[in-house]
A and B are shown apart, each in its own frame.
Chain A
């Protein structure tokens, strides 16, 4: 009951009892569901016991320990919480588009836990999202892996503290438009994109050497070496070279994907995931061999030249060539039905249920470096779970309940309609968001804002 009060308190925005360090963990026994574990097959009429946020038992006819609620899930499907490897939900800022390399930017600084998109994603079964910097820069900021613990006012509560560091790169039309064509700074062409990346890494190597020299010298007697200039930008690039950060690179054309694979090889970067990568299918063997795979759209294409020669069979081709493949949304709208997006791989490529479901669970978990914690229903993993009415890969499926760390954050039957955590005290007329504004796709948000006040209005491209 105490947990329920916590939840109620959280819903009313009182967030007082949820401090940064202590994340809410729940216990529950889900009974008699068809359990789609993703990694260990499907279990009919089975139970899953969650204790303190961890899956502790999976089997038949389990009994609930004292104080643990039982949930009758007869006739329903239980799958792991869906993971979206490319999202901008829950961020106040998406693009610091004023420089081509901005690795010092931390998306964790601008997380907004009250953004309604988080709840709407939960209503679509998404428990973890990769809140990314936008695609305006060749090297963007460091991303934040979020857990959708809706109801808190503290950004720290929705950040998955134990997730590894990741960073955003972008190739192709977006950075060349923003910097080269828009502002006269490199890059303006795909040649420039490669040059900017190589320059950045080489500068980082020099930077690292300078600091190593200083560290060795500073405690020596009679040291005359002063500290070098500090640059978190270059330090972050050095961290990438040291394998401490997973690179997630927005890319589309086969040639630029191939370019980055070679750059990665030159600098010994092993942790590389390609995002969107609409032409990834053309270099599927290379992606499979040299990278941590691709995170793609189900069927978006043709809105830019670099996606004009796409195919909806992209995910299927990558999967069949052995690349770790996931399906992402990059959209506050699409994130709400990623289970349906994944199901499209059955129409376009005939993938099996396991393959399709893996694309929104264990595969993105691997790409975010959290596969030991989430992404499948296995003993010892965090209890991020979704209960469905209808098989998740059916177009008619409806998510019923979503759990994060064993705490129920979405309940179709019980939730109030108005889920806003904060309301303006002076609001007279609530703003209406119509499709024409295209609020959903934010990969280039803040870019027109970066331009001079009026210049942005002359910028035609919004995607």
Chain B
């Protein structure tokens, strides 16, 4: 009996020991595990860092580390050769701030003693103690999509209210490996107000921010006093204050989201007043504040997108009045200004990277090319993808360039990176190789009709809607019953008692456009709300219209497609 237990125990220990070793020493009945962790990309044109004209070289990587970059490396026998003769190799891209792989936290139940003028921090979107680590999953289409564009590292930002939590650096490598590079990189902050409680507006958020900052400073002082003096009343730091202390002590920078010039100015003025370390992210329109950014020395992360040119394209040349022509000219001017911004940032010498938040992976190449066409140098663009974010995130020693000792994050392309016809053949992240299909350049399909998305919409969608009240959201269940599209939707009860559900009616799907209605009832009255939007893949973007109040943007993601798909 004892022997059996001992055997079992020893087996367990052995197994445990084995499990902690590299996985390569195990049987894998799926047959998917890679056979070696050593790779050599031979004779490729290697661009080690922005500004490097590129030279033929071989790169040797093992266990996720670059062992060497050079022309006469001795390659070990277990190195899998990747012929790089026709390929160009760049350092893997670094996403300064992203929300790929992040799940939205569940809305909290309002406690019975909820007072909307003084809600608990967590309910008001103030949860700086949370970490992105807890809401990140490696199995996520967005991660795959961005990796496909060359991103190997991302600073993931938790989702939530004005202080949703701390960010973390993740490697976009193998889904089964633990992705965390470093946690608590910065404290996320933004001007998102709470729905139906204090703070409900940007002005409230700014005041609340100051309040948190001041009281954290006070509690630090109190704790210092308590530590060194006896007879002092016990300090009662709230979780918010405990989490904000490193920010106040200037050890943890704030990653503040600000899209427009006014928002950027507001953040900068808060910084001037309070003195925290700052990285700005999510910049969309920023030309006029470039001098301010320069003076403040703030690193920034600009959105990886350019305004779409639908309106420019739709401008008629004939049959328009002088007044309309003048309006067209103004829109065009604004459009051009938006495209030349990045170039101006570079010229001003401001340290900037990209953020993938609000971007579409499929549009990335187009967006960067538009910026380059409008003045951004290729060196500057590459720096914004690699060395700049590495510097901003404090990981220059780990990533951003191809050097011995750094992480094995590489992008292998068929031509120089910003060339119009370039395609990405491989992305190596954390030493794991991801292969992509190279499409032969063929004539664009003429008038190809959109594949109907018929079956692909059934399942559970999670939606968020940006009303002036703030973010609201819920779940939509769509199913087809006897050929009729039906389902239900959950939303915040106007009477304030949490989430309620309503059936969907008049649902139609025409090509990619989905639309349906549902009734909201409160206090004996009833409203019919309409949601309509365009589906692309597993996301939907559109509008939620409330009669008398207008329409608000709504975004939904198909988080659990029905099995029938």
List A residues at the B interface (Cβ < 8 Å): 13-16, 92-93, 95-100, 102, 104-107, 109-110, 112, 141, 153-155, 179, 183, 185, 222-232, 417-418, 420, 422-428, 430, 446, 448-458
Contact = CB atoms under 8 A, between A and B. Distances in A.
Contacts of B206: 106, 109-110
Given A110-B202, A112-B262, A453-B467, 4 more contacts: A96-B201, A423-B330, A426-B307, A450-B201
Nearest to A13: B288
Given A223-B229, A425-B331, A454-B527, A106 B203 contact: yes
Interface residues of B, number: 77
A425 B469 contact: no
28 contacts: A16-B288, A96-B199, A96-B200, A98-B204, A104-B210, A185-B117, A224-B230, A224-B233, A225-B232, A230-B215, A232-B214, A423-B334, A424-B331, A425-B307, A425-B311, A427-B331, A446-B200, A446-B468, A449-B200, A450-B200, A452-B494, A453-B546, A454-B520, A454-B546, A457-B527, A457-B548, A458-B494, A458-B525
A413 to B, nearest CB: 19
Contacts of B468: 446, 449
B232 A224 contact: yes
Interface string B113-146: 0011110000000000000000000000000000
Contacts of B327: 418, 430
A179 B308 CA distance: 43
Nearest to A417: B323
A96 B204 contact: yes
B493 interface: yes
A155 B116 contact: no
Interface string B188-226: 000000111111111110110011001101100110011
Contact of A457 (B197, B465, B549): B549
A141 B203 contact: yes
Given A425-B338, A454-B527, A456-B549, A153 B261 contact: yes
B204 A102 contact: yes
A223 B323 CA distance: 72
A309 B307 CA distance: 53
A449 B465 CA distance: 13
A430 B225 CA distance: 60
Contacts of A16: 288, 291
B interface, over-half SS: mixed
Contacts of B232: 224-226
Given A232-B207, A449-B468, A455 B196 contact: yes
Contact of B465 (A99, A427, A453): A453
Contacts of A100: 117
Contacts, number: 194
B222 A227 contact: yes
A151 B232 CA distance: 55
B295 to A, nearest CB: 10
Contacts of A141: 203
A449 B266 contact: no
B337 interface: yes
B469 A450 contact: yes
B310 interface: yes
Interface string B247-289: 0000000000000011001100100000000000000010010
A154 B202 CA distance: 18
- Which of A226, A231, A453 has the most C-beta atoms of chain B within 10 angstroms of its own C-beta? A453
Given A452-B494, A457-B548, A426 B310 contact: yes
A451 B494 contact: yes
A283 B204 CA distance: 35
Given A92-B202, A98-B198, A110-B202, A449 B469 contact: yes
A224 B235 CA distance: 12
Nearest to B198: A98
B76 interface: no
Given A227-B222, A457-B527, A425 B199 contact: no
B231 interface: yes
Contacts of B174: none
Contacts of B233: 224, 226
B415 interface: no
B175 interface: no
